[in-house]
Amino acid sequence: MAHTAIYSTARWRALPRDYCAVELLLGAAAGPCSGAIHRHHVDPDDPDSRTLPACAGHHSRLHVVVRLLERGRRRECPHPHRTRESREACERKLNRAA
């Protein structure tokens, strides 16, 4: 509930919402914009963090990009393995090929 007061301040409402950062960065790969443009917190746990404008349709894609960047470039094996060692060997092979 504490975040609500922060988001309803005049300073928060005055932030520009005239373009979608996802569309600007990813272009046609992101698909068309849709919905109202909102402000997305770069760090959702810190209400004073920087924000990016994103349309409602692309807002969830920002979360996907952040998760991918946090996970790094390491690829995880998509199929089941019987042992932990076989999974690790498969992932080593996947990441060596990349």
pLDDT of 3 reads: 56
pLDDT of residue 34: 92
- Rounded average pLDDT over 6-30: 82
Per-residue pLDDT tens over the stretch 67-96: 777 766 777 888 899 999 999 899 888 877
Burial of 22 (0-12, 13-18, 19+ CB in 10 A): buried
Read off the pLDDT of residues 24-64 as tens digits, 9 standing for 90 and up: 888 888 889 999 998 887 776 776 778 889 999 998 888 77
Contacts 24+ apart (CB under 8 A), 80-87: none
Residue length of the chain: 98
| Predicted pLDDT at 1 | 44
**How many whole angstroms separate alpha carbon 9 and alpha carbon 40?**
16
